[in-house]
Structure 1
Amino acid sequence: MSTFSLPSPHPAARPRRWALALLRMVGWRIDLPPPSDPKVLLIVYPHTSNWDFPIGLLARWASGWPVRWLGKHTIFVGPFDRLLRSWGGIPVNRSAAGGFIDALAADIRNRDALILAMAPEGTRRRLDYWKSGFLRLAHAADMVLGLAYIDFATRTLGIREYIRLSGDEAADMARIARAYEGVVGHRPELASPIRLKPPVA
């Protein structure tokens, strides 16, 4: 099993006015209703462009939310490693993702509060299905899902709603798909359909 040390969530910071001003300068706004639970897993959709990263970071700083986020381990190299971690990043080695999810869930269960963000597509390329790791993590760590979005049509980064998984996977995925209707990524053609790969018979 993977082992790691997940950084403790920082106390809520003051919103950084310069980040909010910069977002407004480039025509973006944030719409972030307060978290409904101390432990929230933000799934961010769609993820179709490298532009999602700087917009997401600016929103993190502008809101003052102590959001941690999962990123591919290969970007945490050299001087960028410490910098990205200081910005809330947690490296994920996808070749050992299963063990990582189990260890991450165990760590989160021992925490009083955490806001964690991840892209269920797992890549900027269009895939036929979402990866199911976010469901496993939310169940195992008893986290509420925040349905976060980056909409280039309205230039808004926000959260559509918070939901607690029902245990009915099909119903939960249908509710998630309805919540994301109308959201447009930077490259709409690369947005993966909101569905999970059917189990092998």
Structure 2
Amino acid sequence: MAGQLAAFILELLGWHTVYAPPPGPKSVVIVYPHTSNWDFPIGVLFRAKHRMTASWAGKDTLFRWPLKALFLRLGGVAINRREHTGMIDQLVEAFATKDSFCICIAPEGTRSKTENWKTGFYRLALTADVPVGLGFIDYGSKRVGIDRWIRLSGNEEEDLAIFRTYYADKTGRYPEKSGDIRFR
């Protein structure tokens, strides 16, 4: 029922989806570009439509009353970006102890313009040895989805070249806020 309602709302709003299921029960999905608060409800509708079981990482300041319970129920995982708390180690442990686990991460780490991507998703996928889903919310074509899965090589420049090529035609709601696809 929720999936049908989500599909109806997305269609009503003019959004089309594409979904290639993950190649296994564990994965990291990156979502790029992330430039607007509207990315979240579109992503939640996509997740519901495709009955995707996935957690998502968000800054811990989002997880306050009155939205905390809702965000946790929707699979949110609070990330404290102000200090190093071993979050990657905690997520690697989740991959090791759970039969099935998927986490969605915006590699920019923010909706604001950034000079580079954060490396947490990259280190996580390599350490947990899980595939990476290339997720997107493309306002230019009104398409949202995950249609490609890759295994990282561990060679940052090679992997970044794949990301740059894949995301070259994807446009955020505010294109000028899209972060550069490179690591610090």
TM superposition score normalised by structure 2: 0.95
Question: How far did residue 37 of structure 1 move?
Answer: 1.9
Q: 2:24 aligns with which of 33, 37, 43?
A: 37
Separation in structure 2 between the aligned mates of residue 107 and residue 67 of structure 1, nearest angstrom: 13
Q: How many angstroms does 1:15 deviate by? A: 5.8
Aligned partners of 2:117 and 2:179 also within 8 Å = yes
Give 1:97 shift. 4.2
Give the counterpart letter for 2:112 in structure 1: R
| Residues 148-187 of structure 1 mapped to structure 2, 5 A cutoff | 148-187=135-174
Q: Which runs of 5+ in 1 are unaligned?
A: 1-13
Gapped regions of structure 2 (runs ≥ 5): none
Counterpart CA distance in 1 for 2:54 and 2:97 is 17
Deviations 1:61-112 (A, max 9, x none): 1111111101111111123211111111111111234511112112211222
Change (3 A) 1:94 1:123: same
Q: Is the 8 A contact 1:42 1:118 kept in 2?
A: yes
The C-alpha deviation readout for 1:115-169, integer Å capped at 9, x for no partner, is 2101000001111111111111111211110010000011010124100011111
1:62 aligns with 2:49: yes
Corresponding position: 1:132 with 2:119: yes
SS at match of 1:79: coil
Point out the more displaced range, 174-183 or 94-103.
94-103
Bigger drift between 15-24 and 121-130 goes to 15-24
Secondary structure of the equivalent of 1:95? coil
Q: 1:27 aligns with which of 7, 14, 22?
A: 14
User: 1: distance between equivalents of 2:25 and 2:66?
Assistant: 32
Instruction: Say how many residue pairs are matched.
Output: 184
Q: Is the 8 A contact 1:138 1:145 kept in 2?
A: yes
Q: Normalising by structure 1, report the TM-score.
A: 0.88
Matched, 1:16 2:16: no
Q: Which residue of 2 aligns with 1:76?
A: 63
Q: Secondary structure of the equivalent of 2:14?
A: coil
Query: Do the aligned residues in 2 keep the contact of 1:160 with 1:180 (CA within 8 Å)?
Result: no
Q: Tell me if structure 2 keeps the 8 A contact 1:15–1:63.
A: no
Per-residue deviation, residues 158-186 of structure 1 (Å, max 9, x unmatched): 12410001111110111111111100000
Helix, strand or coil: the match of 2:152?
A: coil
How has the CA–CA distance of structure 1 residues 97 and 162 changed in structure 2, closer, same or farther, with 3 Å as cutoff? farther
Residue 34 of structure 2 is aligned with which of 47, 59, 75? 47
